[in-house]
Amino acid sequence: MARQQQITIVSRAALLLVMLLPAHAAPEPLAVVSLSGEYRQIPKQVTLILEDSRVVASNIRLGRMDPVALEPEESVERTAEANAVLVVITNQRLLGYGSVIGWREIARETGEPVESVTVEDFAAFVTTGFRYLNFNAATGIWASAPRGPR
């Protein structure tokens, strides 16, 4: 009887541990819903490396490094990184990076203040004092629209 009680106590302790573990575990990785309704996780595909005269995308998915040179008077003001998208904002341009399409850029308007940058999955959203911009890291397309009157 003592042996059965030990097994029961160990089983209950293991069950309790399994029930409590998710409450303290790290957040779930990002996921995408396919057209069929299935979820799939987005693994880490890109990482940003900043250097004095260039920025480098470490492309984990394709196993390569993709640098882009900065102009002599260009400086990095802001960066953002998610599992599948990188954004670098300089005083001259906005750079977006996707693991399959590489670097894409859009010019920054003179005196354009950056208010916020949000990245998630394959998408980036930038709000400036003049316009709204989004970047799709799967297609490489930057889109922008002027802000309305405030």
Q: Is 86 found in the same domain as 27? A: no
> Tens digits of per-residue pLDDT, 88-125?
999 999 999 999 999 999 999 999 999 999 999 999 99
The model scores a pTM over 0.75: no
Is residue 143 within 8 Å of 133, Cβ to Cβ? yes
Number of domains present in the structure of the chain: 2
Residue type, 102: G
Q: Is 14 found in the same domain as 58? A: no
Q: Is 133 found in the same domain as 80? A: yes
Q: Is 49 found in the same domain as 35? A: no
pLDDT exceeds cutoff 90 at 7: no
Q: Is 97 found in the same domain as 26? A: no
Q: Is 59 found in the same domain as 29? A: no
Q: Which domain holds residue 73?
A: 45-146
Q: Is 76 found in the same domain as 133? A: yes
pLDDT at 33: 54
Q: Is 116 found in the same domain as 55? A: yes
Q: Is 51 found in the same domain as 35? A: no
Cα 130 vs. chain centroid, distance in angstroms?
A: 24
